[in-house]
Structures are given as C-alpha cells and as structure tokens.
Structure 1
Amino acid sequence: MVTQRKACVVYTEGLKGAVPTVTEELQKKGFDVCVSAADLEIAEAAQAGNLENVNAEVKECIANAEICIFLIPQKAPGSITVAAECARASGGKIIAVVEDVKSIPQIFDELATSIVCVGSPQLPEALGGEEIWQAPKQSAEGRKIPRVKCQ
C-alpha cells in the first residue's frame, strides 16, 4: 500500500480566501491536504504560554505533515505563531504565504523554507520544495535572511 504524502494548511479568517488555491496546488503535487483555522482558542493558549492547549484539530492537521503551509495576513495574530511552534516540533517543512513580507512574525524567518506572497506566480515552486524568499513589493532584491551558520 502506498502512503500519500500529507500537507497541512493553517490559516486565519483574514486569508480564508487563499485556501482553495493553495490546496489545489498541493493536490496537484500529490499531497493529501488537511486544512485548519488558527482561531481564538489557539490565541488564548498562546497568551497563557501553553502549547498543550492548542486545539486538537490544528495539532492533528500538523501531525505527520511533510509540509505545513501558513497563510499569514498583514496583521498576524498570535495564534499563527503558536501553530508554527507546533509545526516546528513536528519536523516538517514550513512555508509562509503572506500578505505583506515586511510584517511576518520573526518565527517564520527562523523556520520557513520559503516565504512567498499571496497570489505569487512562484507559489507552485515554493510548494514543490524550492527555497524562495520574496522581497517586499517595493524592493528589487531578494530578502536577506540572517541564518546562523555552524562552525
């Protein structure tokens, strides 16, 4: 029996409209896609500092996912950061699809393998595993991400 690859899409209400496009691209690439909302319950868990209280739906969606895609609005809620912490623990690739590259939470600069804008023509490549770091729309050059290199 062949096991299908799993992908997780985590969104907030502000970017719910982008979910079908991302889901369709992932399905074209052979992924079984689960979708989960980073809602108020997660935000409350974040404020309490308790990842154990992140809702079961988000945890289940992220668990064993080869790739986790986060749809991040311009004003990202704390709930999306908590969900990213859960994804870090799962060990899969993390891709941020953002409204505004300049206002993403720091954790995505640290964890993501790609950061692309909503509606970017590079989205399929990012979802396919290419490392893409889009620059803010006003900048002609790519984003420079400070990475710590082992000696």
Structure 2
Amino acid sequence: MEKNFFLEASLTGLAKWLRFMGYKAELAVKKITPEVIAENQDKFFLITSSETASLLEKYNLKYLLLPRGSLKQQLFFLIHKLNLKASLSLDICTLCGEKLLPVKKEDFRNRIPPKVWERYKEFNYCPKCDKLYWEGDHIKRLRKRFKAFLKLSNA
C-alpha cells in the first residue's frame, strides 16, 4: 500500500526526508481544520498536536502522533512505527513531491554548469517545479546523514 502523507505545517524537514525516501508528502500551509481535513481525507496525517489528533479521531481518519523532539527522533519513530522502507529512493522532487522524470542531459545543456556536465551522465527533472536534479557529491552526505538518523543509540 502506497502511503500518501499529509503533514502539519511545522514538519517541513520531515516532509523533505519522506520525499527523499520516495513517499508522497504534502505539507499543510495552515492549521489543520475540519475544512483542511475534508480536503485530505484520503491521506495519512502526521501530526505533533494532541488537539489535532482528537479532531482526526472524530473524523475516523488515519494519523500518527509524532514526538515533539528532533527531526531525527521523529523520522526514526515514523519509520519504525509504520514499518516504512528505510532507504532513499531520490525519485521525487524534494520541493513539491512530484515524480521526477529521467531526461537527456543534452536537452538541458544550457542549464547545467560545465563541471556538472563533465562529471555526471544521469539527470532527472521535475515538470512542476522546473528543477533539474543529479546525483552529485551532496548525495553522499545525504546518505550518511540518513544512516545517522536511523541509529537508535543517538535518537
């Protein structure tokens, strides 16, 4: 079952990491109200407010009340509580959550810095944000940080 998450506005960092993992994650732009709930009934809510939890229970919707701790604690808790795959897929735009499309780098030559053009062959594109992605050195740092997030000893 593919999870489609809806996160309260304060969980921006968590939404980004869920997208890195390949999950759809939409962020609330305002407080979660009955109107917002009605528009997102098909989603799984991730929240930190017990007040919002009561509201979601009233509507009989699926949610997870996350600890108000660090991003590391929240991500670790979420992965283990919902049994999510603990790996990075990097196939979703981190800004909007749209599925990335593999593209030919030749079609984007004017947008790719010369050193990036020389070093990398594979590029992905977000049609919604008009953003181009490639697996640069930052991906190694991202993977290392993700592994650190998954370690319970420091959670």
Specify if TM > 0.5.
Answer: no
| Class of the TM-score when normalised by the shorter of the 2 chains | 0.3 to 0.5
The TM-score normalised by the length of structure 2 is 0.37
The TM-score normalised by the length of structure 1 is 0.38
